[in-house]
Amino acid sequence: MYRRAANGSVVDRYGGNIRLAQAVAGMYNFSIRFIEPPPGELWGELTSNGTWNGMVGLFAREEGDIGVANLFITALGGRRKFQEYTFPYGQESTCFLIRRGAGLPRWQSLALPFAQDTWLAVLLVALLVGPVLYVLSQPQVTSGEKLAGRSFAFSTLYTFAVHLRNSRPLLPLRTSLQVFVAFLWVYVIIVTEAYSANLTAFLTVERVPEGINTLKELYQSSFTVYAQGPFFGNNLAAAKNEHARGLSDRFIPLPDLESILEHVVSGEGVYIASINNLIYTISLHTTPQGSPTLRVIKECFQPFNMAMGLQSHSPLKRNLDQAVRMIVEAGLVHHWLDETLLLAKQDRQKAAEWSASTSTEGSANTTDRKIEQSVPLSLEHLQGVFIVLVIGCSVSLFVFFVEVVFRDSWKR
């Protein structure tokens, strides 16, 4: 990660890999002089004349001693002839970045708090409790029962009003009706409270269609796969997954991230890189309201261990292994990742403030907002309340049966 001057020159570097190199330098008391490969060469690839470019080429020509660049441990292309690795300091998956789809219409939020099976169960209950109440209120067991002798339409509308928590104030007198109505109200209160609470979440959180999330779906799409340099294209071509191998035919390496993101933001392709790289990239691309405009596809591809690079047979390896191991055990790698995201956020805010102070068009809101994913309530979530209702219906029907059987003896 870079901070640059107005003329484009690098003022400062930061990021987990830079902090790692600085920490090792501090432990062994040496100074660092950063050298970057020529544009587009990056980690390094075997050229047509049999030589290596990029970082591997710097090691092969003994122009570099240590390499840091989100470096994956791999022997791809025979690079380990010139490049060795230190003790690994983390593991990353290779994932795909895609444009985030437009949010779903807000009116759909009214149906989203419950899953489809939950809505079907609620509808089934609403259709059944009316007839149950009608049956329970037929026999004239107790004189003065307000719910007895009512029509089927009345029983249906009465239970419908209970579901709206606004029923008529008719208190049942018979035990069976009391049990049934009490359990019905317990069920209704829990269901309606659950719906209301989850509805609030869906009204305040933007819902986005799932879209492409697997390698198979990505392969079946028309998206082009972009990356910085050919490294990831070679990995796709060597993959065991047939869909990943198929994506290598649509792989295009580009020299800089800006041109890649132009294709991703326009919806023409996806960007393949390590997951932490993609998380950082997402943090830099948000709407004025703070919502991300990019997302990571759920199915990732080929995990790698990460390490520092160095020349093959380098005498520095033993000391570097020891230093990296100590840093990993201290938990500094994850700390530096969080620090990098925080610094990126601060830089973005400063850039927005500077833009606002030099423009008459007003400032954009750069506040980051964590997008929570609201979950529709399924039958698994609400199974308890339906069990309560079934128990209530069973008990009330049993009491009703007892009332009918012993009706004559009670009258005597």
The answer for residues whose C-beta is within 8 angstroms of residue 351's C-beta and 6 or more apart is none
pLDDT in tens, 292-323: 889 999 998 888 999 999 999 999 999 999 99
Same domain flag for 20 and 45: yes
Least confident window among 80-84, 130-134, 286-290, 369-373: 369-373
Identify whether 136 is part of a domain.
Answer: yes
Q: Is residue 228 part of a domain?
A: no
301 lies in some domain: no
Q: Output the pLDDT for position 209.
A: 66
The verdict on 114 and 195 lying in the same domain is yes
How confident is the model at residue 143, as a pLDDT?
Answer: 57
Examine the domain organization and report whether 27 and 79 are in the same domain.
yes
Asked whether 211 and 252 are in contact (CB, 8 A), the reply is: no
Report how far apart, in Å, the C-alpha atoms of 65 and of each of 22, 57, 86, 312 are.
14, 12, 12, 10
Whether 110 and 201 map to the same domain: the answer is yes
- Residue 259, φ and ψ in degrees, nearest 5: -70, -35
Does residue 54 share a domain with residue 18? yes
> Residue 102 has what DSSP assignment?
P
Is the model's pLDDT at 372 over the cut of 70? no
pLDDT at 61 over 90: yes
Same domain, 114 and 192: yes
Mean pLDDT of the chain, nearest integer:
83
Q: Which two tokens stand for residue 214?
A: 């697997």
Q: Are residues 43 and 131 in the same domain?
A: no
The answer as to whether 101 is a domain residue is no
Tokens of 313: 């047979």
Q: Looking at the structure, do residues 127 and 81 belong to the same domain, yes or no?
A: no
Number of domains comprising the chain = 2
Over pLDDT 90: what percentage of the chain?
Answer: 31
Q: Kindly report, residue by residue over 103-144, the tens digit of the pLDDT.
A: 666 667 778 888 888 889 988 988 888 888 888 887 655 556
Confidence at residue 141, expressed as pLDDT on a 0 to 100 scale: 53
Least confident range from 50-59, 267-276, 337-346, 395-404: namely 395-404
Position 227 scores a pLDDT of: 93
Task: Give tens-digit pLDDT for 212-255.
Answer: 899 999 999 999 999 988 889 988 998 889 999 999 999 999 98
Burial class (CB in 10 A: 0-12, 13-18, 19+), 33: exposed
Measured between alpha carbons, how far is 90 from 8 in angstroms, rounded to an integer? 32
Residue 177 has pLDDT above 50, yes or no: yes
Domain assignment present for 399:
yes
Tally of CB atoms within 10 A around 58: 23
pLDDT for the residue numbered 366: 31
Tell me what pLDDT residue 147 has.
Answer: 73
Tokens of 156: 């249906």
Does one domain contain both 30 and 67? yes
Is the same domain home to 121 and 82? no
- Give 92's strand partners: 304
pLDDT of residue 106: 66
Inside any domain, residue 54? yes
Structural domain contains residue 262: no
CA distance 156 to 130: 4
| Predicted local confidence at residue 65, as pLDDT | 95
- 80 and 129 in a single domain? The answer is no
Residue 153's domain comprises 106-205+376-411
Most confident of 132-146, 167-181, 260-274: 260-274
Domain termination residue (choose one: 268, 296, 330): 330
The answer to whether 20 touches 333, Cβ cutoff 8 Å, is yes
Residue 121, domain member (yes or no)? yes
| Pairing relationship of beta strands 224-228 and 90-99 according to DSSP bridges | unpaired
pLDDT score of 142: 54
pTM: 0.59
Residues 112 and 196 in one domain: yes
Report whether pLDDT(411) > 60. Answer: no
Range from 59-63, 285-289, 365-369 that averages highest in pLDDT: 59-63
Q: What is the CATH number of the domain that holds 58?
A: 3.40.190.10
